[in-house]
Chain A
Amino acid sequence: MPHDPNPVAVPSDPVPSPVEQAVRRALAAHGRLAVDAADVASTADLAALGLTSHATVTVMLAVEDELDVEFPDAALTRSTFATVGSIAAVAAAAVATQHVAVGVSA
């Protein structure tokens, strides 16, 4: 498991959350970015770094797979996939919702 957030590139967020780390792994494996996903600032515009709509779908599926969640329909907008931070925020909310749902049904 890569635990090596670049402290120079992301000084404002030296210890990424597990969800953000999952997002970065998915971007590295499927994002086809022009740069290393580990070095991307959490607020950087991913489209400008080469993330296409087609690759976005695979990145989302990879995040869903790793975190065992589903992005809700209402979150499937361009703004959700604008930055590492925005993807992580939606994924984290989905994780929280999932846990609530599991708690209710248990």
Chain B
Amino acid sequence: MSAPVLERPVPGTVDGDRFATRAAAVAAVAAEHADAVDREARPPREAIAAMKAHGLLAAAVPVHLGGEGATVAELSRIATTLGAACAATAMVFAMHHGQAMALWRHGGPSDGVARVVDAVRDGALVASSTTERGIGGDARRSTCAIEATPSGRVRLHKDAPVISYATEADALFVTARRSPDAAPSDQRLVVCLPEDTTLVQTSTWDTLGLRGTCSHGWVLDAETDADRVLRDDYATISAQTVLPVSHVLWASVWLGIAADAADRARRTVRKQARASLGSTPPGALRLAELLVDLQGLADAVRHAAARYDAVADDPDTLGSAGYALAANALKVGASERVTDLVTKALRIVGIAGYAASGPTSLARHLRDAHGAAVMVSNDRLLHNDAELAIMAGVLL
């Protein structure tokens, strides 16, 4: 008789995964500090340093620019490994890559952009400011505009309701209208370095979960070189890179949260099984059920990652209604499923999972999981989908 139950691949240790060992090393650091990061609502500084030291923030820089050229499928695995350890750390990783990839995909050949690519290759952390007070959470419209200064540079002023991990970033990517007389949706993406930027904090990120992303509110004033404006318009950058990559990597983080919750449930059931050797404990059936749902989520996330890699250089497909619907479907679907999965794990673990701390506590997982549906509101995405759905169906 074969032993399929003993052949479960261990997450992050799949043969041939060139980032698995480094991701595991960073995850160990992230896990060690995850509870403190959560409790104190402070940035996961130790894990960010470890990501830099192990080259994870530089992973996706293309080979021809001196990087390792990680695919989105590879980034997805790293995000899941980190998400299982510390969701805040993993979200920093995911948000960084959603923006950083815009540099070489849409930045153009200017010196200003090239220097930022070099910085990312050397470990720089990218944060972003895409939403704006008074706009209502829509990243595809801006009030803020790029203004030319008399000395040939560009200037920005932006009232941002959230900028995640702004204090830790080595570069801020900021959306703004192309010029003071441009339409709200005629946006560009501007790279602002800390030495060119003033940040005044306007609100504090004191939230239910994902507390370590430190997504405080800031008023941003920056003056930077004109060649630090990315070449492509933001509509293109968003549709082809930021939105689809972010959805895949965020969902990969949530998968990690759910996978760790399931591991904690398994630990509980295994303990029960040891106490009643020879008979299968009742929780094992619930665990088996949980794993059905978790495998479904894992397959959806990894398939979406591979699909992005397959069409990454095909602007027509990336710009199609069907692809946009699929990208949104992953975000909406995965964010609903992660809270469901963690809740099911909680039922299996019982009171030790309900405890605020301890080796099988699921308190942080459940709080972090609830961030998934509200960070970029599912209702907003479904509202966008409603128009697209008239034109296109699902990708089969």
Contact = CB atoms under 8 A, between A and B. Distances in A.
B338 to A, nearest CB: 21
B273 A77 contact: no
Contacts, number: 44
Given A74-B10, A74-B13, A77-B7, A53 B2 contact: yes
Contacts of B396: none
Interface string A56-94: 111001101100001001101110110000000000000
Contact of A61 (B3, B4, B274): B274
B278 A53 contact: no
Contacts of B270: 61, 64, 70
Contacts of A54: 1
Given A74-B10, A74-B13, A76-B8, A81 B3 contact: yes
A98 interface: no
B5 interface: yes
Contacts of B5: 53, 57
Given A52-B1, A53-B1, A62 B274 contact: yes
A62 B277 contact: yes
Nearest to A80: B6
Nearest to B2: A53
B4 A53 contact: yes
Contacts of B275: 65
B351 to A, nearest CB: 21
B277 to A, nearest CB: 5
A30 B277 contact: yes
Contacts of A78: 3, 6-7
A58 B10 contact: no
Given A52-B1, A53-B1, A65 B10 contact: no
A64 B267 CA distance: 12
Nearest to B272: A61
A93 B233 CA distance: 57
Most interface-central of A58, A61, A64, A77 (chain B CB within 10 A): A61
Interface in B246-285: 267, 270, 273-275, 277-278
Contacts of A70: 267, 270
B274 A64 contact: yes
B194 to A, nearest CB: 38
Contacts of A73: 8, 10
B287 to A, nearest CB: 13
A56 B277 contact: no
Interface string B153-187: 00000000000000000000000000000000000
B277 A77 contact: no
Interface string B1-35: 11111111010010000000000000000000000
A31 B274 CA distance: 15
Contacts of B1: 52-54
A90 B2 CA distance: 21
A81 B267 CA distance: 20
A76 B274 contact: no
Contacts of A56: 3, 6
A26 B206 CA distance: 51
Contacts of A76: 6, 8
Contacts of A61: 270, 273-274, 277
A73 B3 CA distance: 15
Contacts of B278: 30, 58
A74 B140 CA distance: 45
Most buried by A among B7, B13, B274, B278: B274
B6 A77 contact: yes
A49 to B, nearest CB: 13
Nearest to B279: A58
Contact of A65 (B4, B6, B277): B277
Shortest beta-carbon contacts, A-B, top 4: A53-B3, A65-B274, A61-B274, A73-B10
24 contacts: A30-B277, A53-B1, A53-B5, A53-B6, A54-B1, A56-B6, A57-B5, A57-B273, A58-B277, A58-B278, A61-B270, A61-B274, A61-B277, A62-B277, A64-B270, A64-B274, A65-B274, A70-B267, A70-B270, A74-B10, A74-B13, A77-B6, A77-B7, A78-B3
Interface of B: 1-8, 10, 13, 267, 270, 273-275, 277-278
Given A53-B1, A56-B3, A58-B278, 16 more contacts: A52-B1, A53-B4, A56-B6, A61-B270, A61-B277, A64-B270, A64-B274, A65-B274, A70-B270, A73-B8, A73-B10, A74-B13, A77-B7, A78-B7, A80-B6, A81-B6
